[in-house]
Amino acid sequence: MTGALPRDLPEEMEQDDASKKISSAAIVPIRERGTTVPLSLAQIIDKALENDIEKRYPSAIEMLAALAELGIILREDFQTHRDI
């Protein structure tokens, strides 16, 4: 959506350092990347990318529900996924 990674990371890093840096680097909120993503959608994306697992959606179904509330996905599609 932005053409950039969700985190600002050094261009070159050792393989062993990559996962540590990725998991500890702060997420750059999507709207700070100069995109015109609506605030309500940006909040869903930012929550899904949180480093702290407790701050993320507890399940894909919860994220689908948030997207369905925005009309990003059709409520019928959400119902189909929820029943699986």
The number of distinct structural domains making up the chain is 1
Q: Helix 39-48 vs helix 60-70: angle between axes, to the nearest 10 degrees?
A: 180
For residue 35, what pLDDT is reported? 79
78, two tokens: 């959400």
The chain-wide mean pLDDT, for the chain, equals 77
Task: Tell me, yes or no, whether 69 lies in a domain.
Answer: yes
Residue 48 has pLDDT above 90, yes or no: yes
Indicate whether 18 belongs to any domain. no
**Containing domain of residue 66, as a range?**
29-82
Whether 16 is in a domain gets the answer no
Using 50, 70 and 90 to split pLDDT, how confident is the model at 26? confident
Task: Kindly tell me the burial class for residue 30, based on how many C-beta atoms sit within 10 Å of its own C-beta (0-12, 13-18, 19 or more).
Answer: buried
Residue 15 has pLDDT above 60, yes or no: no
Decide if 52 is inside a domain: yes
